[in-house]
Amino acid sequence: DGGITQSPKYLFRKEGQNVTLSCEQNLNHDAMYWYRQDPGQGLRLIYYSQIVNDFQKGDIAEGYSVSREKKESFPLTVTSAQKNPTAFYLCASLRQGGNEKLFFGSGTQLSVL
Amino acid sequence: GDSVTQMEGPVTLSEEAFLTINCTYTATGYPSLFWYVQYPGEGLQLLLKATKADDKGSNKGFEATYRKETTSFHLEKGSVQVSDSAVYFCALRDYGGSQGNLIFGKGTKLSVKP
């Protein structure tokens, strides 16, 4: 089945550590997105990529980095500069064209030890 | 800037009750409007959408009508089920923008009791 796979489902970060969240899609979509979800806060856009080897900052990019070396993959690194990383992270990809639709992965819960 | 405001939860209903979740928006252009649903521990799924004024989106018994005059997109269902328990997000897309650049409301948690 086509879809978006995020891993791991749960992740723990130690003080000063960088961690990387994986996002893979086999939907052949060009555009991919990372959102952060905090309780009662809705979703906020971290980074997005419209095409391979290109990406743009979203509303809350500070303390995060991404890469887009392959169409299928859009990993997110939470760096030590992100002082409040505990959140639920969601990856999405976009089916473009006349019937646009955003497809979401099942998320990664990141917590600080 | 553009924004979405939806009613705060949690909302608790008995099975077969009528559901309304209010959503209003602020936008400078002509946005498309969406309702997404998130079941526990999962990502979001598109529930319904409307792309222009007076359009009605519908899916799985849920409906919402794009009301430009009141800048609203309220979600309704005539008879809720326990399986409808989830968090519901209202969202808009900037005019001319990619759907990926959605602006989300804060979400409304719905609990349906048997």
Three-state DSSP at A13 gives strand
- A15-42 as b/e, with b when 16 or more CB fall inside 10 Å? eeeebebbbbbeeebebbbbbbbeeeeb
> Concatenated DSSP letters for B25-66?
EE-SS--EEEEEEE-TTS-EEEEEEE-STT-EEEETTEEEE-
Check whether B20 has a pLDDT greater than 90: yes
pLDDT band at A1 (very low <50, low <70, confident <90, very high): low
Q: What pLDDT is recorded for position B98? A: 54
Check whether B100 has a pLDDT greater than 80: no
Q: Do A43 and B104 touch (CB under 8 A)?
A: yes
Check whether A97 has a pLDDT greater than 80: no
pLDDT band at A113 (very low <50, low <70, confident <90, very high): confident
Q: Identify which of B41, B89, B98 has the shortest CB distance to residue A42.
A: B89
Interface residue A40 vs chain B (CB under 8 A): yes
Work out the percent of chain B whose per-residue pLDDT is above 70.
95
Q: What pLDDT is recorded for position B19? A: 97
Which residue shows structure tokens 């959408």? B49
Q: Do A31 and B102 touch (CB under 8 A)?
A: no
Q: Do B98 and A42 touch (CB under 8 A)?
A: no
Helix (H) or strand (E) holding A52: none
Q: Do B99 and A94 touch (CB under 8 A)?
A: yes
Main-chain dihedrals φ then ψ at residue A87, nearest 5 degrees = -175, 175
Q: What tokens does A82 get?
A: 């992100």
Q: Please list every residue in chain B whose beta carbon sits closer than 8 Å to the beta carbon of residue A33.
A: 100
Main-chain dihedrals φ then ψ at residue B29, nearest 5 degrees = -110, -135
**Stretch B45-67: mean pLDDT, rounded?**
95
pLDDT band at B58 (very low <50, low <70, confident <90, very high): very high
Main-chain dihedrals φ then ψ at residue B101, nearest 5 degrees = -90, 60
Interface residue A60 vs chain B (CB under 8 A): no
Q: Do A90 and B44 touch (CB under 8 A)?
A: yes
Which residue shows structure tokens 């509303």? A59
Q: Which residues of B touch A (CB under 8 A)?
A: 4, 41-46, 89, 98-102, 104-107
Interface residue A31 vs chain B (CB under 8 A): yes
Q: What pLDDT is recorded for position A90? A: 95
Q: Do A106 and B99 touch (CB under 8 A)?
A: no
Check whether A88 has a pLDDT greater than 70: yes
Work out the percent of chain A whose per-residue pLDDT is above 90.
78
For residue B91, give the amino acid letter: A
Q: Which residue has the higher pLDDT, A2 or A25?
A: A25
How crowded is residue B17: how many other Cβ atoms within 10 Å of its Cβ? 14
Q: What pLDDT is recorded for position A41? A: 81
Q: Identify which of A40, A101, A107 has the shortest CB distance to residue B43.
A: A107
* CB within 8 Å of B1: residues ≥ 6 apart: none
Q: What pLDDT is recorded for position B61? A: 97
Helix (H) or strand (E) holding B22: none
Q: Do B106 and A41 touch (CB under 8 A)?
A: yes
